[in-house]
Chain A
Amino acid sequence: MKFWGTRGSIPVALDSATIRGKLTRAIVAAAGKGLDTQEKARAWVENQLEFSVSHTFGGNSACVQLDAGDKEYVLCDLGSGVRVFGNHVVARDGASKPNVYHVFVSHLHWDHIMGFPFFAPAYVPGNTIRIYGCHKELESALRRQQDAPCFPVPFHRLGASIEFVTLEPGRSYDVAGWSVTAKLQAHSGDSYGYRFVRDGRVVVYTTDSEHRLDDPSAVEAAATFFADADLVIFDAMYSLAEAVSVKEDWGHSSNVVGVELCQLANAKHLVLFHHEPANDDERIAQIWQETLRYEEISRSGESLRISTAYDGLEIEL
């Protein structure tokens, strides 16, 4: 799994003040460590420096790649992270090598499709881009965001062969070696999670999903969808208090509910995803640590591994 975009709602850029703050903290932390070569400094940054100083959680809006080593690419969502992914592929394969891309779109809110006009492979004849989703407006939404006056290149001018495939929730499809099943989720205008299965490995991509705790059947359905997953990529945008009060019905979930659902489902690894744009790196790192602690407190069986997504994160299953 490769995470190309992990921020919720809107991309967030590091500003100069934040970078200066990180540098200042790093320099103070490095004092007396004898880091007099690039190699020593790099190793110390990688292994010793506080995570929220040495990293940023990003960044770009949602885009995650499932990489099973195939020639064809499989992605979830077309947030701004897909621009970076596209540039990476072009740099690695060259612009002229034809590729096939399979993209599963959770929903059509802007942060989940905004990267497509900047997805370089879409401009290259010979490429095939197959976009899957459960919304009947899937194609019109992607076309519309490139209409004037919003974007200078209309959708019909894109060079790649672009196909749209409407999926039926609850039904399994075989795509690029994966068995994929979509599930309806609670979100404004609906969203869909995807359960990917291949060679006994299970990955669940479930973003922009609110879990109503007062509905046991919904909780059970979510646990079934997550069942025995090796990895659950989970919308943990809000705190639990926010999610059940001022931000109830805003269509997102919390770290606490993510832990509880994964424990209920016997999932192995939870990845906190779709970070709140208002949260800085320190805050997200704090939420991560708190989530680790909540998992300890609430654990009744096997331990659940917990990560927090950042742009550039790779997880091997």
Chain B
Amino acid sequence: MHITQEHHADALVLTLAGRIDNSTTEGLKAGLDAYVATCQAGGDRLVLDFSKVEYISSVGLRVLMLAAKQSREQGGTIVVAALQPVVREIFEISRFNLVFECFGTVREALAKVSPAGLAAYDAKRGT
């Protein structure tokens, strides 16, 4: 599972890439663990950028559920952005759209969870 990160003030955007299924879920979990551990009150707000994710199975969704649960217990914020149409359908079918606040774009997610992060994001992109 390939995960890249980009900091924008107090927001951390994690871009996931590829197909999340039985063969890649361990990698997803290992990749997320360290970031989720710091997702707490006063810590980074996490935005999971799904724009490069083609598919996610039930096992992958369960890993996301654990991340959401841990973040919330720590007082942190974790949201999802830029779901591809098929992955959005999977979120809706599994009702994970009720677990995560889902945004159309990373920018929209930052606008909600971190005004400072949005400003940094826009500045970086010259908008």
Contacts and interface: CB of A to CB of B under 8 A. Distances in A.
Contacts of A241: 61, 65, 94-96, 98-99
Contacts of B89: 293-294, 297
A297 B93 CA distance: 11
Contacts of A256: 58, 61, 93-94
Interface string A209-243: 00001101000000000000000000000011110
A271 B19 CA distance: 27
B86 interface: yes
Interface string A248-282: 00000011110010000000000000000000000
A49 B52 CA distance: 41
Given A241-B99, A245-B69, A293 B58 contact: no
Interface in B31-75: 55, 57-59, 61-62, 65, 69
A148 B89 CA distance: 52
- Dominant secondary structure at the B interface: helix
Contact of A244 (B65, B92, B93, B98): B65
Contact of A294 (B65, B93, B98): B93
Contact of A260 (B57, B92, B95, B99): B57
A64 to B, nearest CB: 25
B96 to A, nearest CB: 5
A241 B97 CA distance: 9
A286 to B, nearest CB: 10
B90 interface: yes
A298 interface: yes
A244 B69 CA distance: 11
A260 to B, nearest CB: 6
Contact of B62 (A242, A244, A291, A297): A244
Contacts of A293: 89, 93
A213 B58 CA distance: 8
Given A213-B62, A245-B69, A293-B89, A240 B95 contact: yes
Contacts of B93: 255-256, 290-291, 293-294
- Dominant secondary structure at the A interface: helix
A57 B99 CA distance: 27
A244 B59 CA distance: 10
A256 B55 CA distance: 13
A213 B66 CA distance: 12
A255 B69 CA distance: 22
B95 A244 contact: no
B86 A297 contact: yes
Contacts of B86: 297
Interface string B97-127: 0110000000000000000000000000000
A214 to B, nearest CB: 7
A214 B62 contact: yes
Nearest to B86: A297
Nearest to A216: B22
A239 B94 contact: yes
A257 B65 contact: no
Nearest to A253: B58
Given A240-B58, A260-B57, A260-B58, A254 B94 contact: yes
B57 A245 contact: no
Q: Which of A244, A245, A254, A256 has the most CB of B within 10 A?
A: A244
Interface of B: 22, 55, 57-59, 61-62, 65, 69, 86, 89-90, 92-96, 98-99
9 contacts: A216-B22, A240-B95, A241-B61, A241-B95, A244-B61, A245-B99, A260-B58, A290-B92, A290-B93
Given A257-B58, A297-B55, 16 more contacts: A213-B58, A214-B59, A239-B94, A240-B61, A240-B94, A240-B95, A241-B94, A241-B96, A244-B58, A244-B61, A254-B94, A256-B58, A256-B94, A260-B58, A291-B93, A298-B55
In the complex, the 4 A-B pairs of residues with the closest C-beta atoms, listed nearest first: A240-B94, A239-B95, A241-B95, A290-B93
